[in-house]
Structure 1
Amino acid sequence: MRLLFLLTLLLITYSCGTSKDTTPENTSNFRKEYPEFSTQFQNKVKDIYLEKEMYGDFIFAVVDENGLAYSFALNREILDGKRSSLDNDTPIYIASSTKSFTGTLLKILDQDSVLDLDNSLDQYLPELNFNDSIDAKNITIKNLLNHTHGTFSTSMTWKTAFLGYSGGNEELINDLNTDFLFDPSGRYRYSNVGPIVAGMVAEKVTGKNWKTLMEERIFSPLQMKNTSAHVSNFDFKNIRPSLTVNKERGIVEKDFYKSDITMHASGGIISTINDMSKWLATNINQNNVLLNNDSWEELHTSTATQDKKYYTYQRSGYSLGWDIAEYQNNSILTRFGGLAGISFHISFMPDKNVGVIAFSNDNRAYLLPHLMANYAYNIINEQPADSILNIEKTSFDKSFKRENDIQYPDDSEILVTNSGNDKIIGTYKNTENWPTIKIYKEGGHYIFNWGVLKGKIFRNEKGNFNSNLGVLSRDFKISNDSLTTGSLAYKKVRP
């Protein structure tokens, strides 16, 4: 049994692989400095993965000032000793960790005097006037980046993150002008709105959109050759998908729910472990490839106060894209992200010159990247890592069970096609410029297609309808030619 276990570990280590972009000397130095790390870390991840009967992928890296120092990948293929496509060059979605890139981009433009972060929104986007209900002269670009601008729009947020839109920045600005909430307090209130609007400002002053600027100003200088803000730049089947899983059915849904139109300045980058290691090492080193010393200091220093605890991280501030927090009496900068089961962790401890990257895509295990990041930090910092993990795992266990117990509609509840049900087929439009809904037949069932998302239609317990769209689930009802979902009203368009 011990021999079999050792062979499994060898296969796991081999399957993780390396690439031409890794630094063998740095990984060798890490092994010499922390000779027990690999075995201890890998055994712990494997134990948890098997204990929870997990699906999907887990991939992890330690990064220091010299770049990638250690990496490890695990999924069911690797556990079974099979060759896996999961390695350091596999495309993964980093979700809201994009915000740290956008903050850096705007700081680069500020450093180059293309714009001034202390100037007002009104100076750069006068067309964004919030229907004259908010004085945009009191909102700076820095406020947009550190979430103290106070504005929020449901329609703009849903379109950019989930549903898509066709009218460019003009449509999004119209949404902000006509459908918004406002908190005048100036307090930190996290949302996608600020960085997306900051991206619009960058486009206005440069004539290039956010995606192009990211490539020119960050990805290319750092030689992040496998990183992009375009889904279409990747072979779609190679991007690690979201997995919706529960204890009764295993994998319920499996897909990647992003397209080019929903890749935005608050959550719109696909990258790899190798490329993200370059990004993280640059932040640890604060070298002058992107920014000078003063600019790095502002980028990593709190510009807004927050007093929140997420999992084990007590957050005290927010810079221009990083949460400023504390873990085990160490200062730590973090930027997490998630989407429909995907959970992404990137963080670093400035005083220790070390950081970690972690990714998983089993929706039940969204805390796993954070749990294992902490475990790695505690091994490196010579803390009682196993004892601390046993304490922290309690929260992970509870969240895993909660997700594992969720019931999802099965095929017995699917709305089957017949002449009576066919009356719901059609195109439905909303007068407030929300994306069109289309209902059509596919095989023996019906599809609910809202913007760029779609899913099968089920009968719900109230006799109406439900559709799981991957990133969200929508209840809706149809009466004659009217469709309502939540507070949104739609009318069928007659041919």
Structure 2
Amino acid sequence: MKKFFLSVCILFFSASIHFSQTTPMFVTDSLDNYVLRGMKNWEIPGMAVLIVKDGNIIVSKAYGVKELGKSDLADENTLFLIGSNTKAFTGTALALLEQEGKLKLDDKVIKYIPDFKMKDPWITNDLTLTDIVTHRMGYETFQGDFMFWASDLTADEVIEKLGSTTPKFDFRTKYGYTNAGYAIAGKVIEKVSGLTWSNFLKEKLFKPLKMFRTVALSVDFSKSDNTAKPHTKANNQIIVLPFENIDNMAPCGSIGSSVSDLSHWLIAQLDSGKFEGEIKIPFEVIRRTRKPETIIGRARRLYNEGHFNLYGLGWALTDYEGTEIVSHTGAVNGFLSSVTLLPEENLGIAVLTNSDANSLFEMLKWEIVDSYLGLPYRNYDQVAFNRSLTRENQITELIIQWQDSVKMDIKPQIPLSDFAGKYKHEVYGFAELELNGNSLLLKLEHHSNLTAKLEYIGSNRFLCTYSNPTYGIKVFPFETEDGKVKSFTLFVTEGLDFQPYKFIKY
């Protein structure tokens, strides 16, 4: 299967190329080899690359296949989920409504959603529209995402449960990437415009920019033709993931697009909102989305110089070797993407991949940026790949140790059947543990498509293996008192949520 996949990558790709005299040699001579080598290293089934410079599409091409093991090639019109690159569209929607005089970004959230509540009444009354989309609500990065992502909750239930979650930090004191804040923004857009978030984007952005294949909702992505399939790495091999509906959090990450459509978005972003000679997005709107609102921290670069990282309305803002970079990345259910603008260089880059187990989507971007800035070639992707091997080996060794503990067939001091039963988390709701031979089966109230196998490894700890490998393999500690089980603590992979979730026996 792997030999077939590599043959496809090497022999076939769909391309649209327009080199100019100022196009760097890396792009003209080395891009294909760099991409194909990276795809081989990371075992990426398919990807697409876009470079826009001075209003021209320099590169718009796809490599590889839409689905591992199949011969259907990706092309420049193939749809990939772009994950959190959705946020710039949502931020632009808010700025458009402000420009039209229909809202102000300094307005309080409760002006539009009167029943919204945070645990602290003062925050409830003071929380603004800017706060919810610039990651300064007080939550830790990804806090709450386990409860919300790919769950059965509605958008309204997501918003209610977010408000019931105690922020880890004080309000407006620290950057904490809060996906669910964008769910609130989607509801505000709906209330103010009279259109659903998805229809607003379609009418105000996709149609004017002739992004006719782009879809706002994951459910529409699943029904579209010419779509890439999601992949991840599990048990040291790339696998196809089942489709998941993420539309309860749509405004933070559900758009599906192609490099062909995204070229229109990048051209408008780099030409003061103009596309095909006409203003499609007012420049004041574009400028508003790039206004720094939240301090992320100091910029750390592998080789070159940068000083700060800031956040606007769905865009990350930074300096790099004396020039401004406006960018974002996206990670969602088997896809990774990056979108990058260098306004002073009139340069735009997009990289889309149908695997969530790679760094090529970002490393290629930096290689292209450096080539246009006249900086030395660094081979970023090989450096990242070598580091990933070290991390992967460490994680694999730890999991093997845990699995070896399972094989020891250690017996708990309390009967295994006593661990079974119903448990409750104060915000999420219920979890059920069912006795299943020598293990326990975890079922979650709001995740009907997710289960997990819990196997005893000693000291009141169980090894948890989720049915969906993107949730990780984790160890759950249980609390006991006087021979009775009191609670357990649930963990998922840090790429989804850093927080522990304590479920108390009900």
TM range (shorter): 0.7 to 0.9
1:345 Cα deviation from its structure 2 partner: 1.0
Partner Cα distance (1:137, 1:79) in 2: 50
Q: Distance in 2 between matches of 1:171 and 1:49?
A: 36
The residue type paired with residue 122 of structure 1 is I
| Cα distance in 2, alignment partners of residues 193 and 171 from structure 1 | 7
Give how far 1:173 is off: 2.4
Q: How does 1:448-487 map to 2 (within 5 A)?
A: 448-450=442-444, 451-452=446-447, 453-455=449-451, 457=453, 459=455, 461-462=457-458, 464-468=462-466, 469-473=468-472, 475-476=475-476, 484-486=488-490, 487=501
Tell me: CA distance 1:257–1:230, structure 2 relative to 1, closer, same or farther (3 Å). Answer: same
Shift of residue 86 of structure 1? 1.9
**Contact 1:73-1:87 within 8 A present in 2 as well:** yes
Match of 2:207 in 1: 220
Out of 99, 104, 127, the position equivalent to 1:111 is 99
1:363/1:403 contact within 8 Å kept: no
The change in CA–CA distance for 1:424 and 1:202 in structure 2 (over 3 A counts) is farther
* 1:189–1:152 Cα change, 3 Å: closer
Q: Does the aligned pair in 2 maintain the 1:244–1:341 contact within 8 Å?
A: no
Give, in whole Å, the separation in 1 of the partners of 2:163 and 2:92.
24
Aligned residue in 2 for 1:398: 387
Q: In structure 2, what is the equivalent of residue 286 of structure 1? A: 272
Deviations 1:172-192 (A, max 9, x none): 225404644451344433322
Post-superposition shift, 1:9? 11
TM-score for the superposition, normalised by structure 1: 0.78
In 2 relative to 1, CA 175–336 (structure 1 residues): closer, same or farther, beyond 3 Å? closer
Q: 1:315 to 1:262 in 2, by over 3 A?
A: farther
Match in the other structure for 1:343: 336
What's the CA shift for 1:29? 4.4
Which of 373, 379, 383 matches 1:389? Answer: 379
Give the corresponding residue for 1:57. Answer: 46
Change (3 A) 1:11 1:180: closer
Shift of 1:141: 1.4
Find the counterpart in structure 1 of residue 218 from structure 2: 231
Determine if the alignment matches structure 1 residue 359 to structure 2 residue 352.
yes
Residues of 2 paired with 1:243 and 1:216: CA distance?
Answer: 34
1:203 aligns with 2:217: no
1:296 equivalent in structure 2: 286
Q: How many residues align?
A: 464
Q: TM-score, normalised by structure 2?
A: 0.76
Q: What secondary structure, in the 3-state scheme, does the structure 1 residue paired with 2:469 have? A: coil
Once residues 186 and 423 of structure 2 are traced to their aligned partners in structure 1, the CA distance between those partners, rounded to angstroms, is: 29
Q: Percentage identity across aligned positions?
A: 19
CA contact (8 A) 1:340 1:470 kept: no
Map of 1:17 onto structure 2: 14
Cα distance change of structure 1 residues 308 and 240 upon mapping to structure 2, 3 Å threshold? farther
Q: Distance in 1 between matches of 2:266 and 2:88?
A: 11
**Partner deviation per Cα, 1:106-157 (whole Å, 9 max, x = no partner):** 0011111111112222322332232453244433212222223335697753
Aligned twin of 1:3: none
Where do 1:300-449 residues align within 5 Å? 300-309=290-299, 312=302, 314-339=307-332, 342-365=335-358, 367-385=359-377, 388-389=378-379, 393-403=382-392, 405-407=394-396, 428=422, 430=424, 432=426, 434=428, 436-437=430-431, 448-449=442-443
C-alpha displacement of 1:298: 2.0
User: Aligned partners of 1:269, 1:77: CA distance in 2, in Å?
Assistant: 17
RMSD: 4.2
Partner of 1:148: 136
* Residues 411-434 of structure 1, C-alpha deviations (whole Å, 9 max, x = no match): 9979xxxxxx99799995636352
Q: Whole-Å Cα distance in 1 between the matches of residues 57 and 174 of structure 2?
A: 37
Give the whole-Å Cα distance in 1 for the aligned partners of 2:136 and 2:165: 20
Distance in 2 (CA, whole Å) between partners of 1:153 and 1:402 is: 21
Cα displacement (A) at 1:30: 4.2
CA-to-aligned-CA distance 1:178-230 (integer Å, 9 cap, x gap): 64445134443332243232222222323433233222322222222222232
Instruction: Name the SS for the 2:352 alignment partner.
Output: strand
Structure 2, gaps ≥5 residues long: 408-414, 491-500
The answer (yes or no) to whether the contact 1:156–1:172 under 8 Å persists in 2 is no
Conserved 8 A contact 1:153-1:179: no
1:322, CA displacement in angstroms? 0.9
Deviations 1:389-424 (A, max 9, x none): 36x74344213431355325799979xxxxxx9979
**Distance of aligned partners of 1:181 and 1:123 in 2 relative to their CA distance in 1, 3 Å threshold:** farther
Q: 1:345 to 1:53 in 2, by over 3 A?
A: closer
Match of 2:410 in 1: none
Structure 2: how far apart are the matches of 1:437 and 1:184? 30
**Match of residue 4 from structure 1:** none
- Of residues 261-270 and 237-246 in structure 1, the stretch that sits farther from structure 2 once superposed is 237-246
Contact 2:26 2:368 in 1 (8 A): no
Structure-1 residue corresponding to 2:495: none
Give the letter for the 2:376 counterpart.
P
Distance change in 2, residues 1:155/1:395 (3 Å) = closer
